[in-house]
Amino acid sequence: MTDIKILDGNEENLFAITASANYINQALEEAREVDKQLKILQNYDNGILLAATTMSKEDFTTTLLNSKPVFIRHISSFHAIGEINENMTTDEIAAMIMKHNSIIEKNVKVAVQIRKVRGEYYFNPIDLKGKIDELLLEMGSEPEIKEPDYIISVLLDGAKCYIGMSHGMLNVSTWSGGMIHYKKDEVDISRAKYKLLEAISVFKLDLSNVHTALDLGAAPGGWTSVLLEKEIAVTAVDILPMDVRLNKYQNYTNIKGNITELDLPEESFDLLTADISSNPKSTATMINKASRFLKNNGYAIVTVKLMGDKVRRGIKEVKEIYQEVFSIEEVKQLFHNKDEITLLLKKQS
């Protein structure tokens, strides 16, 4: 068995921080607002930073979670570093990893998240995960992906194997790297649908009391299709054509026209959605005007395009516009967002 270095209280606490590779600098700013002395030990150029905090793991994690970071999608803490070599079998590597995760209780759900950042390996990380899952089953726990109680984190960096375990809620996202995956279907109207599905999941939005929705800038209908599949009556508005397959839904209404010229009953919708590719400030002003169609305390889910070099300042300015009408409940750059973020808003009564 290879040697393991245990990271004790006298050493810097190591974390992997994950964000979109295009916005890793914004994620780093968020982390350094928590710990101004945070050190970056490695930038892997794929949206992953290996960082050392001068704070305790608990203080850093708790403070970061309470700050509700926009760009940080996932973190994982490490308590040990092992070394792997080509003479080791996947069974031996799995045993090495689990040697320091033996405190797992029985009947709990555990996700094994293995991420490769550098190096070529003689084994498939998926096979290694399978070996660890087998050991978990022997211990009486249940391998899980979506909603684990605990997460075993493994970062493969050449010959180094960073090992950690934490409660699922302490990783920002329970999905590996914050990358929520959905089963793709060739008949999908638009891949944009996954942005809305992820927003509903990440924001933990309960749609059980949502019966009517107004989808602005809806074409070709990705977001509309998600809402219709949830048996919500949708009025979709766009000057561009909607996908004809939506016509099969009886609770679907299409208004082909300009959003600014809408003539609808005020406060008649439970939910407002908008995924619009235009200037974020003008979009915010337009959504604020359209909020008259939304019931008081109703939610709005909108995307904000990220423009210019001063991204976080731009977000602040757009939020100030929305706050004229809405309270801002959540702000996140989701895995399915590209050069944009998603906001969950609540209309103020």
Q: What is the pLDDT confidence band of residue 184, given thresholds at 50, 70 and 90?
A: confident
Contact yes or no for 291/266 (Cβ under 8 A) = no
Q: How wide is the angle at C-alpha 323 spanned by C-alphas 322 and 324, nearest 5°?
A: 90
331 bridge partner residues: 343
Work out the average pLDDT over 246-269.
95
Per-residue pLDDT tens over the stretch 152-180: 999 999 999 999 999 998 999 999 999 99
pLDDT for the residue 152: 95
CA distances to 158, 161, 236 from 83, rounded to whole Å, are 9, 6, 56
Q: What is the pLDDT confidence band of residue 200, given thresholds at 50, 70 and 90?
A: very high
pLDDT reading at 10 higher than 50? no
- Share above pLDDT 70 across residues of the chain, in percent, rounded to a whole number: 95
Q: How many CB atoms lie within 10 A of CB 247?
A: 10
Sequence-distant (6+) residues with CB within 8 A of 54 are 12, 35, 37, 38, 39
pLDDT reading at 102 higher than 80? no
Work out the average pLDDT over 10-21.
87
Which domains are assigned to the chain? 4-178 (3.30.2130.30), 193-347 (3.40.50.150)
Per-residue pLDDT tens over the stretch 54-81: 999 999 999 999 999 999 999 999 999 9
Q: Secondary structure of the chain in the HEC alphabet?
A: CCCEEECCCCCCEEEEEECCHHHHHHHHHHHHHHCCCCEEEEECCCCEEEEEECCCHHHHHHHHHHCCCCCCCEEEEECEEEECCCCCCHHHHHHHHHHCCCCCCCCCEEEEEEEEEECCCCCCHHHHHHHHHHHHHHHCCEECCCCCCEEEEEEEECCEEEEEEEEHHHHCCCCHHHCCCCCCCCCCCCCCHHHHHHHHHHCCCCCCCCCEEEEECCCCCHHHHHHHHCCCEEEEEECCCCCHHHHHCCCEEEEECCHHHCCCCCCCEEEEEECCCCCHHHHHHHHHHHHHHEEEEEEEEEEEECCCCCHHHHHHHHHHHHCCCEEEEEEECCCCCCCEEEEEEEECC
Work out the average pLDDT over 84-102.
88
Strands 142-143 and 109-118: parallel
pLDDT for the residue 106: 84
- Of the candidates 273, 274, 234, the one whose C-alpha atom is nearest the C-alpha of residue 252 is 234
Q: What is the pLDDT confidence band of residue 1, given thresholds at 50, 70 and 90?
A: very low
Q: What is the pLDDT confidence band of residue 45, given thresholds at 50, 70 and 90?
A: confident
| Residue keyed to tokens 């995924």 | 275
Work out the average pLDDT over 100-113.
83
Per-residue pLDDT tens over the stretch 219-245: 999 999 999 999 999 999 999 999 999
Sequence-distant (6+) residues with CB within 8 A of 252 are 224, 228, 233, 234, 236, 246
pLDDT for the residue 3: 55
Q: What is the pLDDT confidence band of residue 8, given thresholds at 50, 70 and 90?
A: low
pLDDT for the residue 300: 98
Work out the average pLDDT over 24-45.
96
pLDDT for the residue 11: 58
Work out the average pLDDT over 190-203.
95
Sequence-distant (6+) residues with CB within 8 A of 230 are 207, 210
Tokens of 235: 């009025």
pLDDT reading at 9 higher than 60? no
Contact yes or no for 216/276 (Cβ under 8 A) = yes
Q: Letter for the amino acid at 277?
A: S
Work out the average pLDDT over 248-273.
96
Sequence-distant (6+) residues with CB within 8 A of 229 are none
Arithmetic mean of pLDDT over the chain? 93
pLDDT for the residue 7: 57
pLDDT for the residue 99: 84
